[in-house]
Amino acid sequence: MGGSVIVIDSKAAWDAQLAKGKEEHKPIVVDFTATWCGPCKMIAPLFETLSNDYAGKVIFLKVDVDAVAAVAEAAGITAMPTFHVYKDGVKADDLVGASQDKLKALVAKHAAA
């Protein structure tokens, strides 16, 4: 089964994915992004690749901070891109910025745990 990034378009979809991650005991990696954010566009292909590499082990979500502002505000997002890792419904880690090496390390760390 190939991986794919799930685009979150509502607070309800966000809540459903957090519940799914908790139920399946899978870490969730979230890319908080914006259409106008250059660095976000640069790192997006890597995020997609990682979703394929870790298919079945990690849930990958993408949240447009302008389209789903309530989710971004609740998560305390102040800069893009910001990546959060959630485990059992609770934020476990984060990364601010478009560092490919740091994003790879973040996903690998939580996929193995």
Over the stretch 81-103, which tens digit does the pLDDT of each residue have? Answer: 999 999 999 999 999 999 999 99
CATH of 5-112 among 3.30.70.580, 3.40.50.150, 3.10.20.30, 3.40.30.10:
3.40.30.10
- Ranges of each domain in the chain: 5-112
Q: How far apart are CA 90 and CA 54, in angstroms?
A: 20
Q: In this model, does residue 39 exceed pLDDT 90?
A: yes
Q: In this model, does residue 69 exceed pLDDT 60?
A: yes
Neighbours of 39 (CB within 10 A): 15
20 three-class SS: helix
How sure is the predictor about 3, in pLDDT bands with cuts at 50, 70 and 90?
low
Helices within 25-68 (DSSP H only):
38-53
> 0.85 exceeded by the pTM?
yes
Q: In this model, does residue 1 exceed pLDDT 50?
A: no
* Catalytic residue list contains 12: no
* Catalytic residue list contains 72: no
The pLDDT score that the predictor gives to residue 52 is 95
Q: In this model, does residue 72 exceed pLDDT 60?
A: yes
Q: How far apart are CA 96 and CA 113, in angstroms?
A: 21
Percent of the chain with pLDDT over 70: 97
Say which of 18, 28, 29, 37 is annotated catalytic: 37
- The token duo for 58 is 């990690």
Q: How far apart are CA 73 and CA 50, in angstroms?
A: 26
Say which of 5, 28, 29, 40 is annotated catalytic: 40
Assess contact for 16 and 86: CB atoms under 8 A.
Answer: no
